[in-house]
Chains A and B, each alone.
Chain A
Amino acid sequence: MQFYIQQTLNALQVGSVYALIALGYTMVYGILTLINFAHGDIFMISCYVAFFFSTLVISVLAGLPPLVVFVLTMLVSMFFTALLAVVIERLAYKPLRTAPRISAVITALGIGLLLENFMVAFKPVGPAPRFMPELIPNVIYNIGGVAVSNIQIVIIVVSIVAMVILDLIVRRTMVGMAMRAISWDKFTVPLMGIPVDRIISLTFALGASIAAVGGTLYGMAYTIDPYMGIRIGWWAFISAVVGGIGNIRGAMLGGFILGFVEIFTPVFLPASTYRDFVAFSLLLVLLIFKPTGLLGRPMVQKV
């Protein structure tokens, strides 16, 4: 029993990171029907921003309370990652807005490769895996035979808080309404006096900053390297599709499902190396029986 509780906690931890990244895929798809394949690498960059900033802060401003360092690191990572995503959108995707969709998808793949290889070539980063400095001193509690670390709790709680905030932004604010309106009919939105390009930029910024929440949290628990965004990005993308791409709550649900797939695969199958097989099989089976994903609505024919 303890074993399963333990693994469930681990699955929630991993799943919340997938969910945070999946949100960026799903939001961009929702308004542009573009699968932003660079998003996993944008997540990777957010980890490095957190890595460098926290390293700097801890050495220059030694003695700051851990909570302050943690919050600052997350905010800085969110800001710079959002900025990067907006610049990428303006320079690489916007000129292709009227081009065939495949051009934008291939461009996104190219941007991903560019980011990965830039980080490998960039001397202060390089190909070797890194550990982020300890932002919060790791404490492990033993509750009835289940080991729970404070970092694990922080990851799960902060992720859920971030998702609730994002959900409120999309459902309750004018910007969120504008995003949903664009996803329905982007040609009518300017007639409401709404600057569509600015909303698109904001969507990229929001998607990237929530990925950076995930990036900062991820760096507190795992090593980071320039190629990390590929596998994690794919898993987050599958999460978004499983949940129903374009659907915010679907992306969250999908992320947690994929977290359970990752953690429980080695429990039931001989090795953890089967996890990609299980994840992609899940995707294929779902696409056969429910192509719109778990929470996705069937495409409505617009008249």
Chain B
Amino acid sequence: MSGNGNLLTVEDLVVSYGSIQALHGISIDVKPGEIVTLIGANGAGKSTLLRSISGIVPLQKGRILLDGEDLRKVPAHRIVELGVAHVPEGRGIFANLTVTENLKLATWIRKDKSKLDADYERVFKVFPRLKERRSQLAGTLSGGEQQMLAVGRALMTGGRLLLLDEPSMGLAPVLVQEIMQTIRAINAAGTTVLLVEQNARQALKIASRGYVLETGNIALAGSAAELMNNDRVKAAYLGG
């Protein structure tokens, strides 16, 4: 099973909230080194898919494999240890903790403590603003800075697979560009990315492949270029 070369394999995933089925048996895969994007409207199930990968929403049917390892019985905090770093929708920063404390918490599972200093440096190099504000309470940061902190925190977990849920949400257009370039740089440095976005145009610009989710099903899949030129995608997600 691990012979397919995928970092992440999702097979026939079914997830429900109570009696409401959110995902009706979807399959995706992510290869090492890729940026794969999931696009779709609000409520299509994009966030649910990320949440079930990181184990905070239980799956009902199907399988999720990370490097061939079945994640079904693995609790969320252990999935982080296996290399999945999830930046949740709405950022999920701890507003009552300082920037440094937020970053430090994300190193809970790190065993290679000797590498931590280099990783802090890396985060501060990617996001110099965080360095300036490191002793401030995270709640006092601007929206863009909070997003930087959320991504920086995910990097500090040392994950191989970065799940990003709407990183552009609530950001000014110039910041959206900036965060997309940052994601590309993080990917270039060796982290695989699964990017959920409503801003399909921006996402497809940096992704190599994409999936279109519609009401809990995969409606379309293909390379970023194919999707960008697809009439349905153009009409529904790229503003015609």
Contact = CB atoms under 8 A, between A and B. Distances in A.
Interface of A: 174, 177-178, 180-181, 183-185, 187-188, 190-196, 300, 302-303
B108 interface: yes
A279 B139 CA distance: 36
A181 B105 contact: yes
A187 B105 contact: no
B95 A192 contact: no
B94 A185 contact: yes
7 tightest Cβ-Cβ pairs between the two chains A and B: A193-B80, A188-B92, A193-B109, A190-B76, A181-B94, A195-B77, A190-B77
13 contacts: A180-B96, A180-B97, A181-B94, A181-B96, A184-B94, A185-B92, A187-B92, A188-B92, A188-B93, A191-B76, A193-B106, A193-B108, A300-B95
A238 B86 CA distance: 40
Given A177-B101, A190-B55, A193-B80, A184 B96 contact: yes
Contacts of B9: none
B81 A193 contact: yes
Interface string B110-128: 0000000000000000000
Contacts of B68: none
B177 to A, nearest CB: 24
Given A181-B105, A184-B96, A190-B54, 18 more contacts: A180-B97, A181-B94, A181-B96, A184-B95, A187-B56, A190-B76, A190-B80, A191-B56, A191-B76, A191-B85, A192-B80, A192-B106, A192-B108, A192-B157, A193-B78, A193-B81, A193-B109, A194-B109
Contacts of A302: 95
Interface residues on B, range: 20 to 34
Which of A178, A183, A184 has the most chain B CB atoms closer than 10 A to its own CB? A184
Given A185-B92, A192-B153, A193-B157, A178 B77 contact: no
Contacts of B85: 191
A187 B93 CA distance: 11
Interface string B45-57: 0000000001110
A178 to B, nearest CB: 6
A290 B77 CA distance: 38
A303 B90 contact: yes
Interface of B: 54-56, 75-78, 80-81, 85-86, 88, 90, 92-97, 101, 104-106, 108-109, 139, 153, 157
A195 B94 CA distance: 16
Which of A178, A185, A190, A193 has the most chain B CB atoms closer than 10 A to its own CB? A193
A180 B55 CA distance: 22
Contacts of B94: 180-181, 184-185, 188
B92 to A, nearest CB: 4
Contacts of B157: 192-193
B10 to A, nearest CB: 18
Contact of B97 (A177, A193, A195, A303): A177
Contacts of B55: 190
Contacts of B56: 187, 190-191
Nearest to A172: B101
Nearest to B90: A303
B171 to A, nearest CB: 14
A171 to B, nearest CB: 10
Contacts of A191: 54, 56, 76, 80, 85-86, 88, 92
Contacts of B90: 303
Contacts of B54: 190-191
A182 B80 CA distance: 17
Contacts of A194: 77, 105, 108-109
A174 B97 CA distance: 12
Which of B77, B80, B88, B92 has the most chain A CB atoms closer than 10 A to its own CB? B77
Contacts of B93: 188
B215 to A, nearest CB: 25
